[in-house]
Amino acid sequence: MPMSSKARERCREFLEKGERIQYLIPGISLYVNGVRTRAAFFVVVTDHGITVLYGGRFRRYTPKTVYDRLPRHTEIGPVEVHPSLGPVLTVAGLHLEIDEEYVSAVRAANLEATHDGPEDPLPDL
């Protein structure tokens, strides 16, 4: 299910001034620094960087603090599909269980970060 505008606004509060959200990927942690724990996290991809927000164990849609900030050119992932868990995203030392619908957002964010896109076939128009 896509994140609500209210959840996006809550995440926006933790971003630097002028940053625009391109992708917002919610996940539930499986491990944090090698310790098994279930907590909500948000991977916020903006035009300037990647911010990982911590939401806590009981606040699935409300971020509490910044967990990590990464440069925009950082590739997030990999995304591994486990038979019993579904997709698991690895980012900033976290292993996050994400919904299948966000796998395409992870791939799109990575493509934008690592490629300048295709050349314009008709640059003179």
Q: Where are the domains of the chain?
A: 5-114
Cβ density class 79-114: b for 16+ within 10 Å, e for less: beeeeeeebbbebbebbbbbeeebbebbeebbebbe
> Can you tell me whether residue 13 is helix, strand or coil?
coil
- For the stretch 49-64, pLDDT in tens is 999 999 988 777 789 9
CATH topology of domain 5-114: PH-domain like (2.30.29)
- For the stretch 13-66, pLDDT in tens is 999 999 999 999 999 998 777 778 889 999 999 999 999 999 988 777 789 999
CA distance 37 to 20: 30
Cβ neighbours for 21, distance < 8 A, ≥ 6 positions apart: 8, 11, 12, 15, 44, 45, 46
